[in-house]
């Protein structure tokens, strides 16, 4: 059975490493001004550490794809001209592009990198795929609006090109992300297709009738709220067999701005689902859908994968992703006298039962002791504290371990 790639987001070097250690075959990453996730603070991928990021992925046995997928104006092209040597020097395995001008520049100056055509081009048919192939693209990232049966038809018509599709994460209410709401509501300050979307589709709205200025009316949808534009998150883990059989080469997860916990847990779950189905085509993958409820989401939908996107694909009552399990702590890679140094993400108390996951393990355990750096015992670990915790059961590979609450909270559907 042919191998399929699990492609995970890498918002920074740490997330890149965790994504790969937890099961990713490849990661995608971008830098400010050229990427559709333009984070400008914190630990991020920059021109200065881009080469190190690509080398780290390669050293861990994975591929690294660089996103240069903005819709470029003249000033963007000029800025790219000033920096493309640095991009070329980093030697990413591929460059993800959506703009014809950037496509030409990558083809001219980054000959060691393949070209992947972004989902922003909303490629929906096999003639479009052939078009990109004739230009020199080695992979097309298909539009999220495509049903699986249409992907199978594209594979039949174009058998000799790589096909990638999204299987998990946030979705845009607009067609393949081509939205101007953020540009409009922020006076052009936050442009969606330059990586700085303010996500107005997640806002709560009121209605004003033209002849009654100042009188606001709630917009209701079956009394569930007013988030009428906010799609649920995509989750296709149960449809991995159909996607692979349709000819998809790469299964992509959205989320470069998501947490370390999100990246690790989602990578681990999809890795396990893919591997189990590869070994046993009769495997029931529903347990992995349940597992994915433990990470932040707005409720899950299959989107367009099974055909028409239905009204229940929208999250009318929440706009912010809610996790079914709380991320409790990140292990910092130090151990002494049976205790582990951790960074607390949400409060942990003595005698709490928690679930620890590592790249190779997942088990429940009890918090036996919590100590500060001076060895003093504490009743709990507070958010953002570095403390030493002794557990009843311990992980073998504790350097990349994380802990969370047990089970799934009822607010996730």
Span 232-253, average pLDDT: 96
CB 152 within 8 A of CB 246: yes
Mean pLDDT of the chain: 89
Q: Tell me, yes or no, whether 356 and 240 share the same domain.
A: no
CB 319 within 8 A of CB 204: yes
C-alpha 402/C-alpha 295 separation (Å) is 13
Q: How many domains does the chain have?
A: 3
Is the same domain home to 138 and 187?
no
Give me the mean pLDDT over the 209-220 stretch.
66
- Cα separation, 132 vs 127, in Å, equals 9
The percentage of the chain sitting over the pLDDT mark of 90, rounded to a whole number, equals 71
Assigned domain for 134 exists: yes
Give the residue from 38, 315, 322, 301 showing the smallest Cα distance to 202.
315
Rounded distance between C-alpha atoms, residue 287 and residue 273, angstroms: 9
108-112, 119-123, 215-219, 340-344: least confident range: 215-219
Band of residue 213 on the pLDDT scale cut at 50, 70, 90: confident
Identify whether residues 20 and 75 lie together within a single domain. yes
Tell me, what's the pLDDT at 239?
98
What's the whole-number mean pLDDT along residues 261-289?
97
139, 175, 176 from 123: Cα distances, Å: 11, 11, 9
Highest mean pLDDT among 74-78, 198-202, 218-222, 321-325: 74-78
Tell me how far the alpha carbon of residue 181 is from its chain's centroid: 22
pLDDT, position 61: 98
Would you state the structure tokens that stand for residue 174, as one six-digit string? 């607009």
pLDDT confidence tier of residue 5, bands split at 50, 70 and 90: very high
In a domain, 268, yes or no: yes
Nearest to 299 by CA among 411, 398, 409: 411
Residue matched to tokens 């250690």: 21
Q: Which of 144-148, 160-164, 342-346 has the lowest mean pLDDT?
A: 144-148
**What is the reported pLDDT for 212?**
72
How sure is the predictor about 158, in pLDDT bands with cuts at 50, 70 and 90? very high
Domain boundary among 313, 339, 361: 313
Q: What are the tens digits of pLDDT across the range 124-137?
A: 999 999 999 999 99
Cα distances (Å, whole numbers) of residue 412 to 230, 290, 322, 394: 16, 10, 7, 29
Q: Tell me what pLDDT residue 155 has.
A: 98
Q: What percent of the chain has pLDDT over 70?
A: 85
* Judgement on whether residues 208 and 349 belong to the same structural domain of the protein: no
Residues 162 and 192 placed together within one structural domain of the fold: no
Q: Give CA–CA dist 221/2, Å, rounded.
A: 45
Residue 181 domain boundaries: 177-218
The confidence band for 224, taking pLDDT boundaries of 50, 70 and 90, is very low
More confidently predicted of 186 and 252: 252
- Average pLDDT rounded to a whole number, residues 148-169: 97
pLDDT band at 105 (very low <50, low <70, confident <90, very high): very high
Do residues 76 and 33 make contact, with C-beta atoms less than 8 angstroms apart? yes
pLDDT higher than 50, residue 280: yes
Q: What's the pLDDT tens digit per position in 54-82?
A: 999 999 999 999 999 988 999 999 999 99
Q: Name the residue with tokens 């990246």.
A: 263
Q: What is the pLDDT of residue 382?
A: 96
Tokens of 143: 């539009």
- Span 333-343, mean pLDDT? 95
Question: Does residue 409 sit within a domain?
Answer: no
Q: What is the pLDDT of residue 369?
A: 97
State whether 245 and 390 are in the same domain. no
Q: Does the residue 225 lie in any domain?
A: no
Same domain membership, residue 84 and residue 127: yes
pLDDT score, position 323: 85
When mean pLDDT is compared across 17-26, 156-165, 225-234, 377-386, the lowest value belongs to 225-234
Can you give the CATH number for the domain in which 376 is found? 2.40.30.10
10 Å CB burial of residue 173 (0-12, 13-18, 19+) is middle
More reliable by pLDDT, 270 or 2: 270
pLDDT at 274 over 60: yes
Q: Within this chain, do residues 137 and 257 fall inside the same structural domain, yes or no?
A: yes
Task: Tell which residue, 200, 346, 195, 189, has the closest CA to residue 259.
Answer: 346
**Bridge-based pairing state of the strands 402-404 and 380-381:** unpaired
Domain-located, residue 413 = no
234 and 298 Cβ atoms separated by less than 8 Å: no
Residue 147 pLDDT more than 60? yes
Averaged pLDDT for residues 15-42: 83
* Rounded mean pLDDT, 135-142: 98
In this model, does residue 225 exceed pLDDT 60?
no
Q: Are residues 280 and 194 in the same domain?
A: no
């Amino acid at each position: 059975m042919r191998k399929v790639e699990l492609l995970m987001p890498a918002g920074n070097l740490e997330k890149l490493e965790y994504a790969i250690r937890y099961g990713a075959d490849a990661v995608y990453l971008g830098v400010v001004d050229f990427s559709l996730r333009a984070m400008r603070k914190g630990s991020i991928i920059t021109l200065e550490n881009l080469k190190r990021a690509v080398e780290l992925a390669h050293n861990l046995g994975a591929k690294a794809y660089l996103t240069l997928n903005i819709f470029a104006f003249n000033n963007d092209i000029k800025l790219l001209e000033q920096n493309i040597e640095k991009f070329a020097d980093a030697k990413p395995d591929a460059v993800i592009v959506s703009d014809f001008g950037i496509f030409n520049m990558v083809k001219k100056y980054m000959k060691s990198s393949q070209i992947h055509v972004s989902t922003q081009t909303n490629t929906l048919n096999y003639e479009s795929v052939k078009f990109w192939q004739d230009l020199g693209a080695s992979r097309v990232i298909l539009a999220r609006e495509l049903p699986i049966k249409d992907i199978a038809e594209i594979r039949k018509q174009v058998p000799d090109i790589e096909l990638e599709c999204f299987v998990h994460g946030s979705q845009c209410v607009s067609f393949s992300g081509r939205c101007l709401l953020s540009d409009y509501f922020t006076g052009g300050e936050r442009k969606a297709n330059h990586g700085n979307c303010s996500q107005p589709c997640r806002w709560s709205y009121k209605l004003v009738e033209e002849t009654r200025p100042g009188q606001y009316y709630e917009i209701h949808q079956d009394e569930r709220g007013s988030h009428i534009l906010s799609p649920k998150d995509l989750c296709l883990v149960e449809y991995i067999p159909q996607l692979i059989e349709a000819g998809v080469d790469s299964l992509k997860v959205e989320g470069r701005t998501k947490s370390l916990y999100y990246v690790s847990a989602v990578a681990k779950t999809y890795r396990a689902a893919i591997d189990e189905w590869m070994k046993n085509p009769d495997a029931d993958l529903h347990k992995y859908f349940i597992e994915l409820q433990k990470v932040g989401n707005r409720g899950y939908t299959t989107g367009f994968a099974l055909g028409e996107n239905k009204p229940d694909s929208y999250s009318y009552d929440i706009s912010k992703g809610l996790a079914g399990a709380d991320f409790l702590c990140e292990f910092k890679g130090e151990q002494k006298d049976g205790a582990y140094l951790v960074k607390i993400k949400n409060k942990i108390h003595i005698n709490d039962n928690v679930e620890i996951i590592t790249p190779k393990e997942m088990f429940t355990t009890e918090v036996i002791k919590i100590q500060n750096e001076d060895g003093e015992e504490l009743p709990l670990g507070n958010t953002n504290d570095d403390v030493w915790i002794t557990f009843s059961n311990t992980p073998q590979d504790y350097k990349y371990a994380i802990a969370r609450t047990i089970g799934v909270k009822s607010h996730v559907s």
